[in-house]
Structure 1
Amino acid sequence: MKTTIFLRLHAALERYLPEQRLFLRSDHETRFIRLRSETQLVVLVGSALTVAWTIVATSILLMDNIGAGSLRDQAQREQAVYEQRLNDLASERDLRAGEAQKAQKRFTLALAEVSKMQSELLRSEDRRKELETGIDVIQSTLRRTMTERDGALAKAAGLELSLSRKTGSTRTPEGRIEDMRQTVSFLSDALNLTATERDAVAAEAAKAYDLASSLDYDRQLLQNRNDQIFSQLEDAMTISVEPLDKMFRAAGLNTDTLLDQVRRGYSGLGGPLTPIAISSRGEEPLDPDSLRANSILRELDRLNLYRLAAEKTPFAIPLKSSFRYTSGFGPRWGRMHEGTDFASAYGTPIYATADGVVIHADWSSGYGRLVKIQHEFGIETRYGHMSKIRVKVGQRVSRGDQIGDMGNSGRSTGTHLHYEVRVGGKPVNPMTYIKAARDVF
């Protein structure tokens, strides 16, 4: 049965692919190679498969190159838009910081004016008390003088009565007239002096009242201006602090613990952010302006702590040139990919994403040329597959310092940067930090 089928297939092939002979001739002999129908079929099928595979592979490569070019162009456009947004946000942040500094200067001047007005009011109050004390002294003197006069008159009357009993007569009418004249003159002088001092005291009191009214009006104007300044400062603090707070929370960081650590590292006292304290015992002031000023100063201190924490946290992107993402954080080919890959040209500069200390700058098996940077808050960043390392172990770097060049060292299939972020030794998604800072930096 099988022989019959083979014979029929051979006969069918013979009709389309008859047996061929390939002659090989030399100087001494002639040989030939017989190409059977089955052999020709195998050669034709193999050739067809080879041509088909070549066509398919070429098409795939062309489509991949076209797609890669399109993705690269799109990535470049997105990078340009992103960089423009970063520049706009940085300009707006600098503008807000300038406005906050100007507002703080205006607030300082306003506090100085308030202090000056308060001193004027205190001096006016002291003057008024002095005038009241003078009036009390004058009235006491007048009462004492009148008492002494009454005593003198009573004594004179007693002496006259005693003289009358002894001599049988009082003083002459002329003497009594002279005594009355002297008494009236004394009383008139005392009353004139009292009236003059009273008028002077009244004039001083009127001036003090006018000055107090003027100072109170100026104080009200200053209070209104202070309210406007406080409102602008409070709005500026809200606009500045809330995005930073959201950024750290979006990165999964506890802001209270974070700020406490920064505060312990910068625990110096004094300076423009010290709260206002009028009491000699260091108690909090009770007036509304001082309370609002202390609240603004606390927010300024919080903003400054956030700024320090942001410089030590890897919110930045390790590349400033055009790039494209080639692989993200997560499982890949059955294994865990513990970072994010950025592809760009060979030798592209690589930058530190936060302040820190270099703890490794050498070759490391699969990573190739690897740099590790230890940051605050238990955070570590890694930069792998470099072509050149530009830092040394123990070197302190700041965010934006170049630490190496992009390459293809280690276990790598092409030029790219393998970037990792580890918290407490455990890898986390670097894009969490990059996306959290997208609307801030």
Structure 2
Amino acid sequence: MRTRLAIKIHTILERFFPERRVFLKSDTDTRFVRLRPSTQLVALTGSTALIAWAIVATAIVLMDSIGSGNFREQAKRDQSTYQARLSDLSAQRNGRAEEAVAAQERFNAALKQISLMQSELLQSETRRRELETGIEVIQNTLRSTMMDREIARDQVAQLEGAEGGSAARNSATSSAPTSILADALARTAAERDQVIVDARDALVEAEELTQKLAIMQDQNDAIFRQLEEAMTVSVAPLDRMFRNAGMPTDRMLETVRRGYSGQGGPMMPLTFSTRGEEPSADTMRANRLLNQMDRLNLYRLAAQKAPFANPVKNAFRFTSQFGFRRDPKTGGRRMHSGVDFAAPSGTPLYATADGVVTNAGWGSGYGRLVKIQHEFGVETRYAHMSKIRVKVGQRVSRGQHIGDMGASGRVTGVHLHYEVRVGGKAVNPMIFIKAANDVF
């Protein structure tokens, strides 16, 4: 059966590939090579496969060359876009810096204006108290003058009655000198007229002082309103900023108040009365303003101790935000407890607030790690450094160079992992960074 099938296949192949002989002739001999149909089929198949492979390989090389050109163009476009983005970020950073400087200048100007308004308020309050004292003296003088006038009227009536009685008894009093009585009556009338004039003048002066006092009260009310608006605009953003950062504002301000021993200090309430009287509405209003100014001053001191600064001052880009994200190593979803700044290796890193270094070494997953403990239970962490430039126990200041950016630990590239923890709990560092840009 196999022989018949082989003969049949051989017959079919001979139709397309008839047997051929290749003669090889030399000087002394002649030989030939017989090419059977099967041999020709194998040779044709091999040649076809070789040509097909050459065509496919050539096409692949051409496509790869074309693709490489496209990739190069895309890389150039990406590089241009990245450079443009860096320029935009640099311009935004410069703009933020200018806005921060302008905001600081406005803040200082507002403080100066508040100080001037406070001085004017105290002066106007003193003048008001003086006017009230003057009015009280005038009222007392007026009452005394009115009493003198009544006494003078009684004396005139008595003298007039005595004069009538003496006329009726002319014979009994003919010896009394009438000139003395006339002089006494004239003096009494003059004193009466003077008392009336003085009383009128006192009433006019009292009315003028009342008008001046009303005008001064209106001025004081305007000054109070301006001060209250300035305090609201200044204190409310600071209070909201600290609360958004998760910081206990009341306990924080109390800590600052206890530890503050420089110039200024807590402002004492105003006291104008020494007679044990209840404070007036203006006095209570002024005391509320002084308390707000004291709170503003304490917030300013607290802000100097909190990490309201940027750990990277060179050009950088944010590569990962705070919150849940896809893990770059495992691909799973997990919490990212900080923010990532990407920049070249060796970029200087700076402390964001005054504090004490509590860790300066290798940390699991963090690589080379620096921890700094600040006031109010705040801690900052700087991870994946290439070099650490501080030691444990060292006291550092805001803006001090503490290390260099690197790629140590569990990373996919060079960057800084920056964390802020309040009471041991991780909070979003962008709250502090944005506050430093927007408020200060």
Please say which of residues 402-411 and 56-65 is displaced more in the overlay: 56-65
- Give runs of aligned pairs for residues 3-18 of structure 1, distance below 5 A: 13-16=45-48
Instruction: Give the secondary-structure state (helix, strand or coil) at the position aligned to 2:174.
Output: helix
Instruction: Give the secondary-structure state (helix, strand or coil) at the position aligned to 1:277.
Output: coil
Please say which of residues 129-138 and 242-251 is displaced more in the overlay: 129-138
Distance in 1 between residues matched to 2:372 and 2:342, nearest whole Å:
21
Letter in 1 for 2:379: E
Q: Tell whether the 8 Å contact from 1:362 to 1:371 is kept in structure 2 after alignment.
A: yes
Partner residue, 1:429: 428
Letter in 2 for 1:294: N
Structure 1 residue 378 displacement after superposition: 1.9
- Give runs of aligned pairs for residues 286-301 of structure 1, distance below 5 A: 286-287=280-281, 289-301=282-294
* Residue 306 of structure 2 corresponds to residue 310 of structure 1: no
Structure 1 residue 382 displacement after superposition: 0.9
1:323 to 313, 316, 323: 316
Instruction: Give the secondary-structure state (helix, strand or coil) at the position aligned to 1:302.
Output: helix
Instruction: Give the secondary-structure state (helix, strand or coil) at the position aligned to 1:177.
Output: coil
Distance in 2 between residues matched to 1:280 and 1:8, nearest whole Å:
130
Structure 1 residue 60 displacement after superposition: 6.0
Please say which of residues 398-407 and 7-16 is displaced more in the overlay: 7-16
Partner residue, 1:248: 242
Partner residue, 2:9: none
State the TM-score, normalizing by the size of structure 2: 0.71
Letter in 2 for 1:116: R
Partner residue, 1:383: 382
CA 1:57–1:260: 2 relative to 1, 3 Å: farther
Letter in 1 for 2:283: S
Letter in 2 for 1:220: A
Give per-residue Cα distances to partners, 1:356-407, cap 9 Å, x unaligned.
Answer: 2222334546544432111223221011233444444444444334333333
Q: Which runs of no fewer than 5 residues in structure 2 stay unpaired?
A: 1-5, 7-38
Give per-residue Cα distances to partners, 1:229-253, cap 9 Å, x unaligned.
Answer: 2232222222222322332333344
Letter in 2 for 1:290: T
Partner residue, 1:177: 174
Distance in 2 between residues matched to 1:284 and 1:137, nearest whole Å:
35
1:237 to 231, 236, 254: 231
Partner residue, 1:33: none
Instruction: Give the secondary-structure state (helix, strand or coil) at the position aligned to 1:353.
Output: coil
Give per-residue Cα distances to partners, 1:177-206, cap 9 Å, x unaligned.
Answer: 223xx3x44443433333333334334333
- Give runs of aligned pairs for residues 115-264 of structure 1, distance below 5 A: 115-130=126-141, 132-133=143-144, 136=147, 140=151, 176-179=173-176, 182=177, 184-264=178-258
Distance in 2 between residues matched to 1:428 and 1:271, nearest whole Å:
31
Indicate the percent of aligned positions where both proteins have the same amino acid.
45
Letter in 2 for 1:102: Q
Distance in 2 between residues matched to 1:369 and 1:96, nearest whole Å:
39
Q: Which runs of no fewer than 5 residues in structure 1 stay unpaired?
A: 19-36, 161-170
CA RMSD of aligned residues (A): 4.6
CA 1:281–1:186: 2 relative to 1, 3 Å: closer
Q: Tell whether the 8 Å contact from 1:385 to 1:409 is kept in structure 2 after alignment.
A: yes
Distance in 2 between residues matched to 1:125 and 1:281, nearest whole Å:
15
CA 1:437–1:52: 2 relative to 1, 3 Å: same
- Give runs of aligned pairs for residues 59-138 of structure 1, distance below 5 A: 63=74, 66-67=77-78, 70-130=81-141, 132-133=143-144, 136=147
Aligned pairs, number: 396
Distance in 2 between residues matched to 1:252 and 1:240, nearest whole Å:
20
Instruction: Give the secondary-structure state (helix, strand or coil) at the position aligned to 2:309.
Output: coil
Instruction: Give the secondary-structure state (helix, strand or coil) at the position aligned to 1:178.
Output: coil
Structure 1 residue 107 displacement after superposition: 3.5
Give per-residue Cα distances to partners, 1:98-122, cap 9 Å, x unaligned.
Answer: 1342243133224313312431441
CA 1:328–1:51: 2 relative to 1, 3 Å: farther
Distance in 1 between residues matched to 2:277 and 2:111, nearest whole Å:
27
CA 1:144–1:202: 2 relative to 1, 3 Å: closer
Structure 1 residue 58 displacement after superposition: 8.9
Distance in 2 between residues matched to 1:382 and 1:293, nearest whole Å:
44
Please say which of residues 315-324 and 206-215 is displaced more in the overlay: 206-215
Letter in 2 for 1:381: T
Give per-residue Cα distances to partners, 1:300-349, cap 9 Å, x unaligned.
Answer: 22322332333333332212221011233344233654322212234333
Partner residue, 2:339: 340
CA 1:83–1:46: 2 relative to 1, 3 Å: same
CA 1:75–1:359: 2 relative to 1, 3 Å: same
